[in-house]
Structure 1
């Protein structure tokens, strides 16, 4: 199932070129009083909501995808967790380009570890990527993004996919420079998820997915998730040693080679097999 959020928090199931509006199913969510849950309540309830979504699709109003504004398919992630230099070819290109990539930022992922991005940087596919510091180089990075579906702590890689709710396309937009990654990658609009969430059972094995990113008519990034240094299971095991992973937490799995600059006026198109594609404008 492909689940999207659109037009101010409405929930849809994507069917071909249409969105079936199943927002009414949200009435099944419990009401909350302060303090609110720190996890995403829709993702936490997805195992029980998904059959209701399927039933509601039959009579749900349909809206053409081209006419809706797609938001992040996860509205309230507690954490955005990201994996640096997790493709060998990207590590190699970073090592070779000393003018762009700080030496402190090109170590192997097992040495560097993971980092966090601010949740305030999160936008969906219908938003613009807004260049925050135009005097600095800003780069695109396409990634497979994993949505955690249930609480996970000290999970083994062999069991890790059982904790996944689904997958989506992630863009980890990045300012180059000497500062810590979390600072340079957390500007408003610098974390993109979309165009929708593909549930784990529909996507299946995430280890052989083609990724692509173009800027305008120029191909920039081409890779396959089989080339990850640490695959999805490994990353969940690694992350869950340090963090308690909760429903709605997002794991950006790392970007492949071909990273390059973007500027206002550019159009980015990114795609991942069995998920879909998104297209976004770069503005200032």
Structure 2
């Protein structure tokens, strides 16, 4: 089966491509550095020719409110149009648990807009909504950095390993579309400031992480329920301590 992975050279996308290829499928990594630009449409029709499934794990290079909204609307619109023309049977997209609760965040508003476009499209779909990745916590910490101090909300998340995200996305790509959502979260609820504190320590980063409930997360103030899923979600297997130990070993 031919499966095109939009954003297929990134952290999640490259992992999904590898998993699908290892199972004998024709997994195509579609990204600007492979000649496919979903903003301009360059190379998109050729990449989707003969594809049965499209997996979209792409992300905006710019998180400014207007830029991220423009990226997801333009890219998603072009992909949906191209896959309809190509007769694609299943559209899989990666989104974020709790995005619809954080309308103060321009990034989250853009992800909700992307989800709505997919739901209104003509291709059967499955939207995988995941919690935050362990691998992105340090980048999140940088948003609260001020000299030797990092201020982050102590709101609890249920973070998960990127490898677990990729495994589920690949699994969903090979299944029938549900025309709905599949939510996945990590096995433990952990405060964001504590996640960052432990990762910085393992990385030898001397900065001090300070818990500040008023610190915004990409424009929105969080509580313990903001980015955690409702009942019925799937639980990713990798615990934070195990992921952290592997990071320390590397």
Does TM-score exceed 0.5, indicating one fold? no
TM-score by length of 1: 0.27
TM-score by length of 2: 0.29
